[in-house]
Structure 1
Amino acid sequence: MEKRKVEIVVISDVHLGTYGCRAKELLKYLKSIQPQTIILNGDIIDIWQFSKRYWPETHMKVLRKLMKFVVEGVPVYYLTGNHDELLRKFADMQLGSFYLQNKLVLELDGKKAWFFHGDIFDITMQHSKWLAKLGAIGYDSLILLNSMVNWCLELFGKEKMSFSKKIKAKFKDAVKFINSFEQTAADLAINSGYHYVVCGHIHQPEKRMINTDGGEVLYLNSGDWIENLTALEYNDQAWSIFKYDAKQFTKEEDVEYGQLSDGEDLQSKLDVQTLLQKIKLEIA
């Protein structure tokens, strides 16, 4: 299958290391594109819930595929989120074409784009981190239960359902939080003179122009790879939301996951374990 050329791809909220992560689908997507720049906008590895007891091969293959992009010279920006906040102490680190940062500003065809995860707008994160972590465990458990229910529904030819989306739709506070999040991001971006503001965190894919008294900005959110299976793509001066569709990925491809030749330099030989050692990250 011929790979699609993409100028910029933005992915967030993958949550590798959790039961809800859809690593297999993400891997298929990554294998289908030929990106010029990759921006990982937070919560890629879920360090909060990381356990040596659960780290499937598909999760490792996603990281190997991302590192393979680095080996090929594709700039990969890893912007930290709340679930991988331990990496923030190592911000501004660079290894080859891999960049670890807290936020990023790029000029795209004469317009400035501001990328960051977005957890700084979450009051729960700022003042009750233990509650946020408890909520993350509950969310992962809900997704696991939802997966089992959907398996049964498929078995009987019924349509799948999303527990979390139904819960969010019934609680006005959830909708209010999302609207407030988007408006706050837009206000800050407009005040700073940015044309695009690109976030993650709330697992809600979005692309819409937000107007205020101070001006307008295109607000973008890359969604997640738990339920929505979405990414942002930038091509020919325009943004679009990619939505994973299993029908587009019916043919399994032969894959070489990050196998590197002996002739490549040390930075090119980085695998995930080496990267974690370099940033001195110890996970109990």
Structure 2
Amino acid sequence: MAKREVDIVIISDVHLGTYGCHAKELLKYLKSIKPKMLILNGDIIDIWQFSKSYWPETHMKVVRRILKFVTEGIPVYYLTGNHDEMLRKFTDFDLGTFQLLNKIVLNIDGKKAWIFHGDVFDVTMQHSKWLAKLGAVGYDSLILINSFVNWFLTAIGKQKMSFSQKVKAKFKDAVKFINAFEQTAADLAVEKQYSYVICGHIHHAEIREIQSTEGNGSVLYLNSGDWVESLTALEYHNNNWTIFKYTPEAFHTDTDEEDQTDAEDLDAKMDVNKLLERFRQEAE
């Protein structure tokens, strides 16, 4: 099947290594595209909750697929987030077309794009990291329970529901936090004279023009969402930004032959298991 060509793809908040991660769906998406550049904008591997007892094969296949882009010469930027912050000690590490960074500024068709995860704006992250980590465990537990409920709802022909999105919608403080996050990012981007500011972290996909608080300009704010609930990515193609949202109907059932070929090709070019073990060591 022909792959869809995209100039730039940005994904974030995949949280590989947790029960809430939709690795199977992400794998289908990654197999369907042919990007000229891939940006992983933080929290791809969830080192906070990384467990050697939970690393399904589908999670490994996502890693292989990303590394396949690297071996094909496609630039892949891994920008660190809070859940994979331990990797920040390795920033500026590069492996061929793969680079590990904290943030990046790109020139996209003559416009500057400031891209970073966004946890720097989170007060909880800065002053109560233990509370943030505790919240992450609770969030993952909520997602796990939600998956069982959705399985039951699907079995009886009912529509799926999202516990966390309903919780967020009930609390005005959650909405205020998202709005404050977006405004802060926009204000700083306008000050730095960037055309785009692109974040992740808050699991809320968005593309919208935001005026600065000072009224001295505006910037296009973009957020890639997540692959826990939203199942979204940012795509840039033909001078246009869009939000991709995964739907099962858009994808055919995958076969294992391509996955096996990926594994064999990568094993011939790099020791994937050795690379992954470095992540595991950081989790201990």
Q: Which category describes the TM-score, using the shorter chain as reference length?
A: over 0.9
1:214 partner amino acid: N
Q: Higher helix fraction: Structure 1 or Structure 2?
A: 2
Other-structure match for 2:28: 28
Ranges in structure 2 where 5+ consecutive residues have no aligned partner: none
Q: How does 1:97-108 map to 2 (within 5 A)?
A: 97-108=97-108
The Cα offsets for residues 30-82 of structure 1, whole Å up to 9 and x where unpaired, read as 00000100000000000000000100000000001100110111110000000
Tell me, in whole angstroms, the C-alpha distance in 2 between the residues paired with 1:80 and 1:87. Answer: 7
Structure 2 residue 224 is the aligned partner of structure 1 residue 219: no
Other-structure match for 2:270: 269
The Cα offsets for residues 181-219 of structure 1, whole Å up to 9 and x where unpaired, read as 000000000100100000000000000001121211000
In structure 2, the CA distance between the partners of 1:161 and 1:41, relative to structure 1 (3 Å rule), is same
Contact 2:208 2:222 in 1 (8 A): yes
1:46 partner amino acid: D
Q: Which consecutive segments of 4 or more residues in structure 1 shift more than 6 A?
A: none
Tell me, in whole angstroms, the C-alpha distance in 1 between the residues paired with 2:203 and 2:78. Answer: 18
Tell me, in whole angstroms, the C-alpha distance in 1 between the residues paired with 2:253 and 2:58. Answer: 17
**SS at 1:282 equivalent:** helix
**SS at 2:282 equivalent:** coil
Other-structure match for 1:93: 93
1:237: how far off? 1.0
Worse overlay, 250-259 or 146-155: 250-259
Tell me, in whole angstroms, the C-alpha distance in 2 between the residues paired with 1:278 and 1:83. Answer: 16
Other-structure match for 1:197: 197
Q: How does 1:38-187 map to 2 (within 5 A)?
A: 38-187=38-187
Worse overlay, 242-251 or 171-180: 242-251
In structure 2, the CA distance between the partners of 1:130 and 1:251, relative to structure 1 (3 Å rule), is same
Question: RMSD value over aligned CA atoms?
Answer: 1.5
Ranges in structure 1 where 5+ consecutive residues have no aligned partner: none
Tell me, in whole angstroms, the C-alpha distance in 2 between the residues paired with 1:63 and 1:87. Answer: 16
1:278: how far off? 6.2
Matched residue count: 279
1:274: how far off? 2.5
Match of 2:232 among 225, 230, 233: 230
Q: Percent identity?
A: 67
Contact 2:22 2:227 in 1 (8 A): yes
2:100 partner amino acid: L
**SS at 2:177 equivalent:** helix
Tell me, in whole angstroms, the C-alpha distance in 2 between the residues paired with 1:15 and 1:257. Answer: 22
1:245 partner amino acid: T
What's the TM-score, normalizing by structure 1?
0.95
2:262 partner amino acid: Y
Contact 1:222 1:241 in 2 (8 A): yes
Contact 1:90 1:279 in 2 (8 A): no
The Cα offsets for residues 148-205 of structure 1, whole Å up to 9 and x where unpaired, read as 0011111111111100000000000000000000000000001001000000000000
In structure 2, the CA distance between the partners of 1:53 and 1:117, relative to structure 1 (3 Å rule), is same
Tell me, in whole angstroms, the C-alpha distance in 1 between the residues paired with 2:242 and 2:10. Answer: 10
In structure 2, the CA distance between the partners of 1:89 and 1:95, relative to structure 1 (3 Å rule), is same
Worse overlay, 174-183 or 253-262: 253-262
1:154 partner amino acid: T
